[in-house]
């Protein structure tokens, strides 16, 4: 799976892609091979070269980062009311219910598909991400009228509480009671940040 705004920064190794395809076909309990190092919590696993097993029940174990997927499993993780952003977060609950394995590149140096992962690609909320698209336009001398889409300069800004309410409401509609798994995790992370900030200011 590859979104059209994931502008590749370096050549892609086709041999490694074919290798991942063969691995997927050999084991129908594998959901996906993620072609980037997405910050997952990984386990020590040497079965597949360059890849490690993502720990079960990890956050974002289902997400839209560049990957080779088992198509049947991917379709089973997608619901009719999902949004792309909610699917990446709450969609993982659907994978938790099954004994499905996910693998990720173990080291950023060996990523197969290199792009601006930290900024989510070249488009955010319908607008160009200037830090991503501007160098591409210059490098390839592209004729793109960026004024039609405009630039999104708020990609890294904090979201409003109302956004979070709507987001978790969507999660409830998607996975019902499993949404509380993610609410509990979010509250735990918030408490850790607050405690860290409290002790650092003393």
For the chain, give the percent of residues with pLDDT over 90. 51
Contact criterion met (CB below 8 Å) for 96 and 57? yes
Assigned token pair, 53 = 């097993």
Instruction: Report which of residues 154 and 125 the model is more confident about.
Output: 125
For the chain, give the percent of residues with pLDDT over 70. 95
Assigned token pair, 199 = 């002790």
Give the Å distances, CA to CA, from 45 to 12, 105, 121, 158, 193: 24, 11, 29, 36, 31
Map residue 76 onto helix, strand or coil: helix
Backbone angles phi and psi of 80, in degrees to 5: -65, -30
Residues 80-115 pLDDT 10s: 999 988 998 999 999 999 889 999 999 888 899 888
Instruction: Report which of residues 159 and 75 the model is more confident about.
Output: 75
What is d(CA 14, CA 159) in angstroms, rounded to the nearest whole number?
39
Mean pLDDT, rounded, of the chain = 88
């Amino acid at each position: 799976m590859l979104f059209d705004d994931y502008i590749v920064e370096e050549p892609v190794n086709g041999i490694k892609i074919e290798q991942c395809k063969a691995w997927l076909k050999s084991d129908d309990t594998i959901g996906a091979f993620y072609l980037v190092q997405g910050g997952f919590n990984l386990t020590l696993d040497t079965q597949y070269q360059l890849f490690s097993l993502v720990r079960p029940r990890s956050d974002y174990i289902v997400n839209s980062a560049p990957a080779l997927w088992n198509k049947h499993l991917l379709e089973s993780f997608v619901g009719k009311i999902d949004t792309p952003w909610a699917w990446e977060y709450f969609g993982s609950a659907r994978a938790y219910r099954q004994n499905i394995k996910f693998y990720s590149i173990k080291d950023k140096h060996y990523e197969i598909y290199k792009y601006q992962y930290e900024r989510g690609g070249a488009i955010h909320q319908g607008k160009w991400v200037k830090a991503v698209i501007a160098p591409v336009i210059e490098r390839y001398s592209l004729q793109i009228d960026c004024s039609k889409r405009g630039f999104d300069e708020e990609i890294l800004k904090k979201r409003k509480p109302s956004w979070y309410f709507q987001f978790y409401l969507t999660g409830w509609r998607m996975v019902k009671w499993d949404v509380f798994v993610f609410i509990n995790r979010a509250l735990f992370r918030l408490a850790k940040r607050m405690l860290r900030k409290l002790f650092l200011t003393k």
